A and B are shown apart, each in its own frame.
Chain A
Amino acid sequence: MKARKSRREELRHLADKLVGAGLKAGADEIEVTIYDGHQFEVQVRQQQIEHLVEADPRYCSVRIFKDKRKATFSTSDLSWSTLYSLVKKAIIRASRTQPDELAGLPPAARYKVDELSLKLADPALIVLKSEEKIKLALETERIGLSDRRIINSFGAGFESSELKTILVSSNGFSGEYFETEASLSLGLQAGQGDQLVEDYWFSSARHLKDLSSPQEVARKAVERTVRLLNPRKIKTQQVPVIFEPMMTSWLLAFLFQCVSGEAVYQRTTFLADRLGEKIGDDKLMVMDDGLLPGKPGSRPFDAEGVPTQTTKVIEAGVLKNFLCDTYAGRKLGLASTGNAEPEGIGPNNFYLERGQVTPEEIIRSTQKGLLLTRTIGQGLNPVTGDISRGAFGLWIEDGEIAFPVSEIAISGNLNNVLNSIEMIGSDLSFSSQICGPSVKIAEMTVAGL
């Protein structure tokens, strides 16, 4: 523990030293980020450990600006001679690229929260022994396999990680934070002969106490797998489609791509000209929030040292804000929203605000329709908003789940989908950085026979 702490002090000094050396070597501005992590992973299958991984990864990533020209590098070799030669090479590379008036670091800002107030790390997770982690995975799989309908397992996994992020910039910014995360997962297979079905479930959290129990993960994995047994094919038709929370997440991930400031200035999103306009149903409220204590996407500052914030993206169906890093913000004449990632723009906690109805009520309200449980493939085009994906789901008749369906694809357009949201569920849980509750869309094309 102590050794780790002193190593991190050393890395902090290394970042400071590199910023100084960069300026001295001729950079106008320099920003240094060092990541220092610890990783554990166990996967068990058929009650045997399949693999066990332990590592202390670390790397350093640097942006430099000279005469409004930019060059970056990253390296997993943190020796001073390597770092210094990469800085010098970056300055030379920058001189070969072209000036961009808007390039440069943000002004240094003070962030008001830290890893403690954001509850980013869990001391209990740090001291949890490997044997305990292995036990959790074994127990999860054992319970899953004990169900007679389950014929095979893809394995249960427990992963945990600790990560220290240190950011120092020549504009005077200096900050760091430490975070933890753990996840427990199980994948199962059911069926017989060539009629096999598979599904999985997982729980992930920053704090051990927020992680679902092995019983809970196994129960969900079993339930999700066996409900797909004996699927039928359906005719191609247009019906209401209900998205389970995990499905709402991918829909929101697609929306995120479309409201990212980078896509806006590159005009690779159908929402590029729609700021301030009504783009969806009145019920629609979408937020990006980096300040929610204990949640997976929370952090005190983004990859450029800009403090994170609470940003309304869509309010009552009106597009309120694009999500920007410093550069996209300057391009669009907007402020950074604290969404910078090492590469491009990323979400903090990007979520759809919950509604009033329970998921059961949503199903009951549906005469005939599809409960979408999983999709596979790509088929999302931010330029047009077009959606087309392979899908798995449960067919609904007279307000009840009737049978599973297979070999279907759903298609539609995000613009239409946002405008035809009929119901929003109350079942929001922050299980990932991008998340939302169950959602019912009035009509989409479901292709089958």
Chain B
Amino acid sequence: MTKQLVMNSVCPAPFQLNTSLLKKVLMTALSRGGDFADLFLEYRTSLSISMEEDIIKESEETLTIGLGIRVIKKDRTGYAYANDLNEEKLIKAARAAAVIADQRISRPRPVAFRPIRVKNRVAPVKKLATALPLDEKIDLVKRAYQAALNFDPAIKKVQVIYAESTQYVWILNSEGISVKDCRPMIKLAVHSLAERQGHRESGYYGGGGRVGLEYFKNSMTPETIARESAREACLLLEASEAPAGSWPIILSPGHSGVLIHEAVGHLLEADFIRKKTSIFWDKLGQKVASDQVTIYDDPTIPGFRGSYNIDDEGTRPDRTLLIDRGVINEFLQDKLSARLMGKKANGHGRRQDYSHWPLPRMSNTYLAPGEYSPEEIIHSVKKGFYVSRLSGGQVEDSGQFTFSVTLGFLVEKGRLTRPVKQATLIGTNLDILQKVEMVGHDLDFGLQTATCGKEAQQVPVNDGCPTMKITGMTIGGQL
């Protein structure tokens, strides 16, 4: 499945920095007595193409180059970065980061780098999209645009965005790790606007991941993406206001994974645990959810947006079992939290780019499949709310969360009836987790376009779940 890899053979020009200079920078970073230091060298090229109002309106290329320098002393982090990679600037930045450790002078032990070759497990790419001609990508955009516009006469406006990026990283640290990787990503997303008798609604759909352009032939065509987007806009034209109050909820497979991400995933991130701000901080090994709930975070799923061969600290990740039949099994760790908690780093240290330090983050998070068929689950509800599309959510450390529903259905006597739009689901995680009554066997994943934000850092993620039923949850709709 995984074809030949891209990295190691390819070496962009900025990666020609010589190791002795980087060693000097790292030594300078440790010169005030830091316990640990690392360098994160990034070179990223991105391209986006947009089409609206019947024309390919714009293309944009972005080139990012920078080096981030981190120094850790106990639980304190010093950070500096530079765009200009000449020796003078890098040494200046290293000195700024070094200050966090306040010793006057320290003689750090010299580091000997041990270069590690990374095996590509996650990006089944035949050829980097970056290396392919612009016209091929423009063609994908035009096809999606036409397909959305032709879906229904009610579709009045369409906007299509194609985006690709290739991120090269080189991570070196005071433990001697020196590792490089290449991380490709593509995305095609369609916004459709439907209008009937002065009433307007919009739809959205997209696809992509750590894949090559062949994805749009083999996995999801531009036409499929476009039609799903247009279908949603048209369906919303028929939708009525969502109800308000506390109802039994059924969550659709795939898109509803965001609930797992928000309600559980974030609160298992080790920084919130060691700082004791997460409601879960003292609950390792305890039962916090119903038996139906088993949750994994897996950075190794090939082609997925949230996947990586190594995390942003150079740690090789594995699938992490977060919750095992209701019991908290493990937290999401980066190096800093793992060291402070006496645990093993499990490959979840991620950062937005060179200008940020790593934090414990999710990758691809999902609720494991259960035993029920989706039909059984729907049949079990007399009067309830079926969530078809969740567009996002947010959680607080205390466990309160919200989700935005763009499209849902009423459930009446075990059947989906009329479509409803725009509602918010709210709850607290401990409460909801106990109320997961049925989990289906139909595990699916959400759109390959999702991004997760934490402390102003955005990273690509994905999440998934099977059809699931929650006995009661508050919906904020209209009375």
Contact = CB atoms under 8 A, between A and B. Distances in A.
A48 B479 CA distance: 49
Contacts of A277: none
A72 B403 CA distance: 35
Q: Which of the listed residues A50, A70, A82, A390 has the most CB atoms from chain B within 10 Å of its own CB?
A: A390
Interface residues of A, number: 72
A390 B277 CA distance: 21
Interface in A340-385: 376-379, 381, 383-384
Nearest to A375: B402
B281 to A, nearest CB: 10
Given A52-B78, A238-B479, A268 B193 contact: yes
Interface string A236-279: 11100000000000000000000000000011101000000000
Interface residues of B, number: 81
A73 B63 contact: yes
Interface in B342-361: 355, 357
Chain B interface, DSSP helix/strand/loop, else mixed: strand
5 contacts: A71-B58, A72-B58, A196-B399, A384-B201, A388-B424
Interface in A104-154: 152, 154
A415 to B, nearest CB: 13
A234 to B, nearest CB: 11
B422 A236 contact: no
B200 A383 contact: yes
A388 B394 contact: no
Given A51-B77, A384-B421, 5 more contacts: A93-B134, A98-B57, A390-B400, A409-B426, A409-B475
B396 A198 contact: yes
A383 B193 contact: yes
Given A73-B62, A389-B476, A58 B83 contact: yes
B59 A97 contact: yes
A168 B156 CA distance: 38
Interface string B52-81: 100111111111111000000001111111
B80 A383 contact: no
Interface stretch (A174-182, A212-220, A441-449): A441-449
Interface in B91-115: 93, 96-97, 99-100
Interface string B289-326: 00000000000000000000000000000000000000
B474 A448 contact: yes
Contacts of A72: 58-61
Interface of A: 45, 48-59, 70-78, 82, 86, 89-90, 93-94, 96-100, 152, 154, 189, 191, 194, 196-198, 236-238, 266-268, 270, 376-379, 381, 383-384, 386, 388-392, 406-411, 445-449
A376 B156 CA distance: 32
Given A52-B99, A409-B474, A378 B391 contact: yes
B400 A376 contact: yes
Contact of A447 (B97, B276, B477): B477
A78 B83 CA distance: 9
Interface stretch (B221-229, B240-248, B459-467): B240-248
B394 A194 contact: no
B279 interface: yes
B477 A388 contact: yes
A409 B422 CA distance: 12
A126 to B, nearest CB: 17
B19 interface: no
